[in-house]
C-alpha cells in the first residue's frame, strides 16, 4: 500500500481525481467529512445511547456521543503526530500538498463515527439482534437466506452497520454522507465479510466490517485506496494504516474513561483504583500536584489526563516503528497490544469488567435490551414481510405506519427487507426504543 493512494480525497460518484494541492485550506475535504458526520441524524442519536452505564441520572457518565467526541480528540492528536513524521519520511506527500493536519482530520473524522452503527443498549444490542435470528423467532429465516446473509444477521456487527450508515444510497442521496475514501478506509477496522469467521489471528480478522448488502460499495472503496487483498477465497483485505490509530484512540478512551466513570459512580473504590492508575503514569505524575487536589473527581481527572497522554505517546511510537509492516499488512496486533503498559491496561480492563460491566445496573439494562429488541424485530419484520406477501393484518398495517418510509423500500429480497428493519432499530436511541416498544406492546397510548 502507498500513502498517496491511501489519502484519497475521492467521494462516491466522483469521475475525476481530487487533487490535495487544489483544496480550499479554509474547509479541507477531510474537515468536511467531520462536519457531515456531526450534522447527521445517526450521530445525533448517540447522545441517548448507552456507553456503559445505562440511562444514568448523573451528569458525568459517558454516552456514546461524549465517548465518540473524546475518541475523535485523541484520534486527531494521534493522526497529527504520526503525520508530522510521515511527511518527513515521504516528502512526495508534501509536494502534493498534504500536511500533518490532514492525517489528524482523517483520523478524527473516522474516530467520531466509529460507534455510529451501534444499536441501542450498548454491545448487548448487537448480541440481542444476533440472538433473535440465531435462537429466537428469526431463526425461521435461515433456510431462506444465503450462508453469508444469515451470518450477517446472527453475528450482527455495529462496525458493518456503521459502514452502511456512512455509505448507503437512498433516493436522491447517492453514496450516503459521501465521505472521502480516506476517511472511510480509516473507519474500516475489519475490512472483511462475515464469513469465514475469524480465519486467522490477525487483528483485521477479529470481526467483520460490511454487510452483503454493501459489498459493492466496499469493493469500490478498497480498490480505489489500493488496500491489499488478504484472501483469494473470501472478500478480505488488510487494514488501511490509519485504522490502527482510530482503534488506538478508542482503546485509550474506553480503557481509561470507563474506569473513571466507575470510580466516580462508586463502583470501584478510589484508593484501590488509583493505585492501578498511578502505575500507568508513574513516570509522568507530579506527586506534589496530585496530593494537593482535595476532591476525588479532580484527582481522577488529573490521572486520566496523564494516562491518555502516556498511551498516545506509546501508540505514536509503535505505529512509526512499524510503518513498513503496517503498509504490508504484516502487523497483526492492535497498537496497544504491543505497548509496554499492556499489563497495566489489562489490569484496568479486568477491574472494569468485574466492577462495572457486570454491575447490577448494567446487567439489568442488558436483560431489558434483549427483550425490547427481540419484540421490535419480531413485530416489524413480520409486518413488512406480510405486506410483501399481500396479507398484512390490521395490526401489521398500523405497525408499518410507525415505520419511516425509507425503511419500507419494496423489494423481493427477504435479506434486504430484514436488513431494513435491523437498520431502523439499530439507529434508535435507548429511550426511543423503549417508547416504541411500549407502543407496540400496548403499555402506553
pLDDT digits (tens, 9 = 90+) for 281-308: 989 999 899 989 998 889 889 999 999 9
Q: Does 145 have pLDDT greater than 90?
A: yes
Q: Which three cell numbers stand for residue 286?
A: 507530579
Tell me which of 227 and 362 has the higher pLDDT.
227
- What's 416's DSSP letter? H
How many other CB atoms are found less than 10 A from the CB of residue 63? 21
Q: So what's the pLDDT on residue 152?
A: 98
Of residues 376, 10, 307, the one with CA closest to residue 181: 10
- When the pLDDT of each residue in the chain is averaged and rounded to a whole number, the result is 93
- The secondary structure of 267-308 as a DSSP string is SS-HHHHHHHHHHHHTTT--HHHHHH--SHHHHHHHHHHHHH
In the numeric block, which cell numbers belong to residue 341?
Answer: 503498559
Give pLDDT tens digits for 244-261.
Answer: 999 999 999 999 988 988
- Res 411 pLDDT > 60: yes
> Hey, what's the cell of 22?
487544489
> Among all chains, which residue has been given the C-alpha cell 435470528?
133
pLDDT at position 118, please?
95
Whether 444 has a pLDDT exceeding 80, the answer reads no
pLDDT computed for residue 186 by the predictor: 98
DSSP bridge partners of 237: 229
For the segment 87-102, what is each residue's pLDDT rounded down to a tens digit? 999 999 999 999 999 9
Q: What is the pLDDT of residue 133?
A: 98
* pLDDT tens-digit map of 34-82: 999 999 999 999 998 877 765 555 556 688 999 999 999 999 999 999 9
Residue pair 249/257 in contact (Cβ under 8 Å)? The answer is no
Give me the pLDDT at residue 124, please: 87
Q: What whole-number distance in Å separates Cα of residue 244 and Cα of residue 334?
A: 7
| pLDDT higher than threshold 90 for residue 428 | yes
User: pLDDT tens-digit profile of 270-288?
Assistant: 888 888 888 899 899 998 9
User: Percentage of the chain surpassing pLDDT 70?
Assistant: 98
Contacts of 269 (CB under 8 A, 6+ apart): none
State the pTM of this model.
Answer: 0.95
Long-range contacts of 292-298 (CB under 8 A, 24+ apart): 296/263, 296/264, 296/270, 297/60, 297/264
Cβ neighbours of 359 (radius 10 Å) = 17
Task: Tell me: pLDDT of 445 over 70.
Answer: no
CA distance 335 to 78: 12
DSSP H helices in 284-390: 287-292, 296-321, 323-328, 342-352, 360-389
* Per-residue confidence (pLDDT) for residue 434, from 0 to 100: 93
What percentage of the chain has pLDDT greater than the value 90? 78
The tens digit of pLDDT for each residue in 364-410 reads 888 888 999 999 999 999 999 999 999 999 999 999 999 999 999 99
Task: Using alpha carbons, list the distances in angstroms from residue 427 to 171, 274, 350, 430.
Answer: 19, 37, 30, 9
Residues with Cβ within 8 Å of 442's Cβ and at least 6 positions away in sequence, in order, are none
Give me the pLDDT at residue 363, please: 84
Amino acid at each position: 500500500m502507498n500513502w498517496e493512494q491511501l489519502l484519497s480525497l475521492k467521494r462516491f460518484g466522483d469521475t475525476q481525481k481530487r487533487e490535495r494541492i487544489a483544496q480550499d485550506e479554509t474547509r479541507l475535504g477531510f474537515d468536511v467529512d467531520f462536519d457531515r458526520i456531526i450534522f447527521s441524524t445517526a450521530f445525533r442519536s448517540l447522545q441517548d445511547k448507552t456507553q456503559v452505564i445505562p440511562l444514568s441520572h448523573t451528569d458525568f457518565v459517558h454516552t456514546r456521543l461524549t465517548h465518540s467526541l473524546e475518541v475523535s480528540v485523541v484520534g486527531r492528536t494521534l493522526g497529527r503526530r504520526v503525520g508530522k513524521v510521515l511527511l518527513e519520511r515521504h516528502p512526495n506527500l508534501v509536494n502534493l500538498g498534504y500536511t500533518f493536519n490532514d492525517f489528524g482530520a482523517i483520523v478524527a473524522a473516522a474516530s467520531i463515527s466509529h460507534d455510529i452503527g451501534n444499536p441501542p443498549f450498548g454491545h448487548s444490542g448487537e448480541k440481542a439482534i444476533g440472538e433473535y435470528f440465531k435462537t429466537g423467532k428469526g431463526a425461521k429465516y435461515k433456510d431462506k437466506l444465503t450462508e453469508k446473509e444469515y451470518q450477517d444477521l446472527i453475528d450482527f456487527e455495529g462496525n458493518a452497520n456503521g459502514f452502511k450508515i456512512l455509505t448507503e444510497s437512498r433516493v436522491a442521496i447517492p453514496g450516503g454522507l459521501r465521505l472521502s475514501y480516506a476517511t472511510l478506509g480509516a473507519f474500516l477496522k475489519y475490512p472483511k465479510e462475515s464469513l469465514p469467521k475469524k480465519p486467522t489471528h490477525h487483528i483485521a480478522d477479529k470481526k467483520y466490517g460490511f454487510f452483503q448488502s454493501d459489498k459493492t460499495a466496499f469493493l469500490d472503496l478498497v480498490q480505489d485506496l489500493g488496500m491489499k487483498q488478504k484472501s483469494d477465497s473470501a472478500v478480505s483485505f488488510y487494514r488501511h494504516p490509519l485504522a490502527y490509530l482510530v482503534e488506538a484512540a478508542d482503546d485509550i478512551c474506553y480503557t481509561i474513561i470507563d474506569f473513571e466513570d466507575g470510580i466516580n459512580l462508586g463502583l470501584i473504590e478510589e484508593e484501590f483504583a488509583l493505585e492501578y492508575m498511578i502505575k500507568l503514569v508513574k513516570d509522568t505524575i507530579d506527586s506534589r500536584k496530585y496530593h494537593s487536589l482535595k476532591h476525588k473527581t479532580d484527582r481522577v481527572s488529573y490521572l486520566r489526563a496523564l494516562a491518555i497522554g502516556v498511551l498516545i505517546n506509546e501508540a505514536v511510537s509503535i505505529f512509526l516503528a512499524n510503518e513498513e509492516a503496517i503498509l504490508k499488512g504484516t502487523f497483526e496486533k492492535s497498537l496497544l497490544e504491543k505497548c509496554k503498559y499492556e499489563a497495566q491496561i489489562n489490569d484496568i480492563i479486568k477491574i472494569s469488567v468485574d466492577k462495572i460491566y457486570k454491575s447490577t445496573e448494567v446487567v439489568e439494562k442488558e436483560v431489558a435490551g434483549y427483550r425490547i429488541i427481540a419484540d421490535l424485530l419480531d413485530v416489524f419484520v413480520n409486518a413488512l414481510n406480510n405486506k410483501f406477501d399481500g396479507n398484512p393484518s390490521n395490526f401489521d398495517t398500523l405497525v408499518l405506519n410507525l415505520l419511516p418510509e425509507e425503511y419500507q423500500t419494496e423489494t423481493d429480497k427477504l435479506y434486504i427487507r430484514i436488513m431494513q428493519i435491523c437498520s431502523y432499530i439499530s439507529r434508535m436511541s435507548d429511550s426511543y426504543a423503549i417508547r416504541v416498544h411500549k407502543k407496540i406492546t400496548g403499555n402506553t397510548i
